[in-house]
Structure 1
Amino acid sequence: MLETISFSQRQRLAYIDFCLLFKGAIHRQDLINRFEVGLSAGSRDFTLYKELAPDNLIYDPREKRYFQTENFLPVFEHDAKRTLVKLANDISDGFDAIGDLHFPVESASSLNVPDIFVVAKVVQAIVNKKAMSVIYTSLSSGSGARELVPHSIVDNGQRWHVRAFDRKSQSFRDFVLTRISKVTVKAEPEVHECIEQDEEWGRLIPLEIVPHPKNIKFPTAIELDYAMEEGVLTLEVRAAMAGYLLRRWNVDCTKHASLRSGEYQLWLKNRQSLADTDNLAIAPGYTAEQAAYTA
């Protein structure tokens, strides 16, 4: 049936499908406002969608919106990799609701791709500010149930993570999306579990990165690569993300620039800025006596 429908109506049907998958619900007015169609046209779109997938949505007259059902199966194919990249860059091609989802997604990755239904449930929990129960497989403890309160999707340069409050450890941590399964969205979290209480996420730290003083013979080349000003690249990054960036760029974080192999073309000049920052065991050469943990 989809092949016989006009392109513009397929866009609107795909939008309904996307909202149900990633947000869990949609108002009729959402569709009307997004595509600037009349009330009757919007009603016809929902009627047609219900014909295509009668078990996908149910209308709540009290809230005046349609909700995803437990039997929901998307009518359109939503690619996980493309969706994450578009979320990271706030890009919409008209077949989704990217522009309507306002929550942090840091960077974009071309490597491993999580399951689209896991991504959808995590996004639902973030958008609707809910907790979620998951089965998580950890390197240290294997598979087990966890209750998380997610607030952001992040990219460490290799893998997609979700930043969340972990009720097991009572702390904010990073969880690899591909290790998450069987997601169930739960009730609203407590105040101490919300993004505002994630100090490592909210705190910005300055990094002064320079060409490696011992490994680079012609530092001007590195200065050009990174658009350095007066030989220094100054960045402000979230404390929770600092370790990932330093590892991704192979930044030597030793006090005296002592990592001498060729892959270290950069050195962190203001190493002291990393004080009291977690998750730095992955930062090359950083050996501060502090706790560091990656889920």
Structure 2
Amino acid sequence: MLDDITYAQKQRLAYIDFCLLFKGSLCRIDLVEKFAVGLSAGSRDFNLYKELAPDNLSYDVKQKRYFQTAAFKPLFEHDAQRTLAKLANNISDGFDAIGDVQYPVEPASNLNVPNIFLVAKVVQATLNKFAIEIEYTSLTSGNQKRVIVPHSIVDNGLRWHVRAFDRKSESFRDFVLTRIHEVNRATEAKPFEGPDEDHEWNRTITLQLEPHPTNIQYPAAIELDYGMQNGMSEVNVRAAMAGYLLRRWNVDCSQNASLKGPEFQLWLRNRHSLMSTSNLAIAPGYEGN
């Protein structure tokens, strides 16, 4: 039946599917406002969606909302990498399911792809402010169950992780999405577990980057690469994300620019800006004072 409907209606059905998967619910007015259609057209779209996937949604009369059911199975295919990119840029259309224009641009290779259904459960938890119990495999403690309160999904340039309050350590931490095996809803989030209390997430620091003083023969090339002004580039970054950025760009964070090798093209001039910042074990050459 999907092949017999218009492209515009297929877009709206994909949006319903997307919202049920990642938000857990939506109402008719969401569809009407998103696509600027009439209420009657929105009703027809929901009726058609129910005809195509009757077990995917249930209607709550009091809240006047459609909710995802336990038997939910996506009507459309939501590609993991493209969906994560759209979530990161606040694009919630679900159009991957019906094809986008293909441009001659080659993306970076990805060694890992998170499970899109687990990601959807994490996203629902962040939007609806509840804790989740996850089965997680870490490098230091292996496989175990943790209860976390997520507030953001983050692309650190190498992989996706979730920023969350960890009830075991009673602190905010990063959990790699591909290391999560199972997600189940737990209790409601408490006020001190919310993003407003994540001080490293909310604190912004400025990194002063310049061409490496000893590894680079022609610093003008690096200045062009990074759009530097007067031989330096200033980058504002969340304190919680600083270590990832410095590792991804191979920034020499040693005090005297002592790291050797062609991969170290940048040097951090103001390493003091990293004080009181965690997750710096991955910052090349950094040793806390």
TM-score (norm 1): 0.90
The offset of 1:220, in angstroms, is 1.2
CA distance in 2: counterparts of 1:20 and 1:110, whole angstroms: 29
Q: For the Cα contact (< 8 Å) 2:83–2:94, is it kept in 1?
A: no
CA distance in 1: counterparts of 2:190 and 2:261, whole angstroms: 48
Q: Return closer, same or farther for 1:169/1:109 CA change in 2, 3 Å cut-off.
A: farther
The residue identity in structure 1 corresponding to 2:131 is: A
Map 1:1-295; keep pairs closer than 5 Å: 1-91=1-91, 95=95, 111=110, 112-288=112-288
Helix, strand or coil for the counterpart of 2:187?
Answer: coil
Q: In angstroms, what is the RMSD of aligned CA positions? A: 1.6
The residue identity in structure 1 corresponding to 2:128 is: N
Q: For the Cα contact (< 8 Å) 1:109–1:158, is it kept in 2?
A: no
CA distance in 1: counterparts of 2:201 and 2:94, whole angstroms: 31
TM-score (norm 2): 0.92
Q: For the Cα contact (< 8 Å) 1:81–1:110, is it kept in 2?
A: no
**Which deviates more, 169-178 or 44-53?**
44-53
CA distance in 1: counterparts of 2:75 and 2:133, whole angstroms: 26
* 1:82-136 deviation digits (Å, cap 9, x = unpaired): 011112233466738xxxxxxxxxxx97522101101111111111122111111
Helix, strand or coil for the counterpart of 2:44?
Answer: helix
Helix, strand or coil for the counterpart of 2:130?
Answer: coil
Helix, strand or coil for the counterpart of 1:157?
Answer: coil
CA distance in 2: counterparts of 1:143 and 1:254, whole angstroms: 35
* 1:199-241 deviation digits (Å, cap 9, x = unpaired): 1101111111111111111111111111111111111111100
Q: For the Cα contact (< 8 Å) 1:109–1:155, is it kept in 2?
A: no
Helix, strand or coil for the counterpart of 1:186?
Answer: strand
CA distance in 1: counterparts of 2:85 and 2:249, whole angstroms: 20
**Which deviates more, 87-96 or 22-31?**
87-96
Q: Which residue of 2 aligns with 1:103?
A: none
Helix, strand or coil for the counterpart of 2:15?
Answer: helix
* 1:166-219 deviation digits (Å, cap 9, x = unpaired): 011111010000111221233321111000000110111111111111111111
Q: Which residue of 1 aligns with 2:99?
A: none
Gap runs ≥5 in structure 1: 97-107, 290-295
CA distance in 2: counterparts of 1:176 and 1:261, whole angstroms: 29
CA distance in 2: counterparts of 1:35 and 1:69, whole angstroms: 24
Helix, strand or coil for the counterpart of 2:95?
Answer: coil
CA distance in 2: counterparts of 1:170 and 1:94, whole angstroms: 36
Q: For the Cα contact (< 8 Å) 1:81–1:113, is it kept in 2?
A: yes
The residue identity in structure 2 corresponding to 1:86 is: K
CA distance in 2: counterparts of 1:283 and 1:155, whole angstroms: 17
Q: For the Cα contact (< 8 Å) 1:135–1:183, is it kept in 2?
A: yes
Q: Return closer, same or farther for 1:92/1:132 CA change in 2, 3 Å cut-off.
A: closer
CA distance in 1: counterparts of 2:5 and 2:181, whole angstroms: 35
Percent identical: 66
Task: Count residues with an aligned counterpart.
Answer: 278
Q: For the Cα contact (< 8 Å) 2:133–2:147, is it kept in 1?
A: yes
